[in-house]
Structure 1
Amino acid sequence: MVHARILKTTTTTTTTTTTTYYYYYYYYYYYYYYYYYYYYYYYYYYYYYYYYYYYYYYYYYYYYYYYYYYYYYYYYYYYYYYYYYYYYYYYYYYYYYLLLLLLLLLLPLLQGVFSTVCASEKRRNSQSKRT
């Protein structure tokens, strides 16, 4: 009787200990999994936020440089056009004044040629009237 009671008590104690250990192990594993999941989610969210922020910053930076490049290109094109326009008119007036100067220099020669032609025509006319 005594031996049976001792065996029964020992068995009950072993079962209770095993059950308690299993219970705590299960909840520890559950909390560990929950903590890991939360940590993973937090890390994912942080990474996503960082990535979004980086992308936004990169996009802003790219847009800024694109705008700056466009602005610079526009003004470069404007100044290039202005310079070309000025260069074109400068050469236009240069050739215009050069031609005018050439005509002024050739004017005495043209006047001499014209007077010679006119004199020869007068002579021819006067000779034809005589005949």
Structure 2
Amino acid sequence: MFFKESNEIDLGEITIPNIFIDIFMPMADGLYVKVYLLGYRQACDITSNPKFDNNSIAKNLNIPLSDVLSAWKFWEEKKIIKIHDNGEYDNFNYSIEFLDLKNFYIENILSNNSSIKSNTDKVVSTSEIQVLEKCLIL
């Protein structure tokens, strides 16, 4: 059983979609999850520092900048973020757009499950036909 203590003091909080926790977090390196969560927090907090960038994440997590960049590339490959070039001369100072995970789930997971179900129905139908054919031959 799990419980959550309530408190009247507001130090800020964000809501992490269950889809991220259930589907994406288990497939990722823990460091990549930290980068995602820290970036997501910044994106959701309207009072966040607009100068907070990939270098800030690296310093905050005490990791090399290259690890932060690798994390963003990983998440972009999973299609849950988009990397936007800021038009600057360096290749590590870009913006991250966090995509709507509910839409991702609906468009990718649910539609794939329905096609899997359809294929399963076809397999079952085919096997039933084979059983019937065997019965008819006997």
Normalised by the size of structure 1, how large is the TM-score? 0.30
Instruction: Kindly name which structure, 1 or 2, has the bigger radius of gyration based on alpha carbons.
Output: 1
Which has the larger share of helix? 1
Which has the larger share of strand? 2
